[in-house]
Amino acid sequence: GSGYAKEIIWKFIKRYDLREDHIHKLEEAAFQYLSRPMSREFKLMCQTMSRIATASFWDKVKSELGSDNPIIQINSYCLYAYSEGIIAGEKQRLYLKKVKRSLRWYVSDRSEDYSVEELFSLLEEPENWPEGKIKYQEPKPEDLPIVYYDPEYDKKFASLNIALSHKKIIEEKLSTVLSSGTLHGFNATTWLYAVYLLGKIDDPSVIKILAKFWNQKVDYKFEGITKSIARRSVFNALKNYETSEAIALIKDYEQIVRENTE
């Protein structure tokens, strides 16, 4: 659901008489937050878990403190402090918030972004193509427009016959692009083209890349036009793959849309 709905759930769920199975489901949901950039409801989730979580949950969080993934490591470091109570947890969270503010003077999230031009340059590299030569095709009318608000590059991307590329090399590069930066107007256009190409590369293994992109870069964001456009692009890409995994993801995402429009 939307970020606001999640905030309300984490804020008021403690008022209900929670059974063991309810707590188990909440622990599963809370654990998913460790692999995502910190969202607005993260604080409320931590405070709730400090009151209801079981010892096995805290052991599971503790096991992630040494993760190689910096997002998981930092989020675990913040959440685990709440195992000692809300006061200890809030002290840790505020400390991390202070450190984050200091780092902003030195590192900009936008420095990680790929521009549309940089993405296209990545795709032009000879290692991506048999004999080092790009394979072109006539753009399909049903594929256009890819980007509604700034379609300058639409035909260039639609002209690439990406299914004839060295798929694994291309997929690795597109995955890197989709895991870099944050969701905003500058980066969204690049991501839309990357998602479009994953839908056209004709390799079901990209479903995992699309799911990871959705979970880590889009799902936790508050509802808005940029998120809506990103969601639609993921829908369209998944519809090219008639696997059980793709169909299940589409159903999940459609349920989210219904919840946010009711």
pLDDT single digits (tens) 129-171 = 999 999 999 888 777 778 765 566 888 899 999 999 999 999 9
Q: 36-40, 119-123, 191-195, 239-243 — which is least confidently predicted? A: 36-40
Burial class (CB in 10 A: 0-12, 13-18, 19+), 21: exposed
Q: Which of 75, 103, 131 is the last residue of a domain?
A: 103
- Do 76 and 124 fall within a single domain? no
Q: Which of 81, 103, 125 is the last residue of a domain?
A: 103
- Do 56 and 141 fall within a single domain? no
How many domains would you assign to the chain? 2
- Do 247 and 180 fall within a single domain? yes
Closest CA to 1 of 211, 222, 231, 225: 222
- Do 158 and 92 fall within a single domain? no
What pLDDT, on the 0 to 100 scale, is given for residue 261?
A: 56
Mean pLDDT over 71-77 rounds to 90
At a CB cut-off of 8 Å and minimum separation 6, what does 21 contact? none
Closest CA to 219 of 33, 9, 45: 33
- Do 233 and 119 fall within a single domain? yes
Q: 150 vs 67, which has greater pLDDT?
A: 67
**Residue 186's pLDDT band (boundaries 50, 70, 90)?**
low
- Do 93 and 211 fall within a single domain? no
| Helix runs in 37-184, H state only | 42-52, 55-62, 70-80, 86-103, 116-124, 154-158, 167-178
Residue at token pair 């035909």 = 155
Q: 55-64, 67-76, 123-132, 219-228 — which is least confidently predicted? A: 219-228
pLDDT for 102 beyond 60: no
Number of H helices and E strands in the chain, helices first, is 13, 0
Q: Which of 103, 124, 159 is the last residue of a domain?
A: 103
**Residue 106's pLDDT band (boundaries 50, 70, 90)?**
very low
What pLDDT, on the 0 to 100 scale, is given for residue 96?
A: 81
- Beta-carbon count within 10 A of 181 CB: 19
pLDDT for 103 beyond 50: no
For 195-238, how does the pLDDT look when each residue is reduced to its tens digit (9 = 90+)?
999 999 999 999 999 988 888 887 666 666 777 788 888 888 99
Helix/strand/coil for 36? coil
Q: Which two tokens stand for residue 99?
A: 């450190």
What pLDDT, on the 0 to 100 scale, is given for residue 107?
A: 42
- Do 118 and 230 fall within a single domain? yes
Closest CA to 232 of 141, 149, 161, 170: 149
- Do 116 and 54 fall within a single domain? no
Secondary structure letter of residue 125 according to DSSP: -
What's the whole-model pTM score?
0.58
- Beta-carbon count within 10 A of 33 CB: 23
What pLDDT, on the 0 to 100 scale, is given for residue 146?
A: 80
Query: 3-state SS of the chain: helix, strand, coil percent to 5?
Result: 70, 0, 30
- Do 97 and 114 fall within a single domain? no
Q: Which two tokens stand for residue 151?
A: 């379609």
For 83-93, how does the pLDDT look when each residue is reduced to its tens digit (9 = 90+)?
999 999 999 88
Give me the chain's average pLDDT, please: 84
- Do 74 and 178 fall within a single domain? no
CA distance 66 to 146: 41
Domain range for residue 158?
Answer: 110-261
**Residue 31's pLDDT band (boundaries 50, 70, 90)?**
very high
What pLDDT, on the 0 to 100 scale, is given for residue 217?
A: 83
What pLDDT, on the 0 to 100 scale, is given for residue 168?
A: 94
Q: 4 vs 125, which has greater pLDDT?
A: 125
Q: What is the CA radius of gyration of the chain?
A: 21
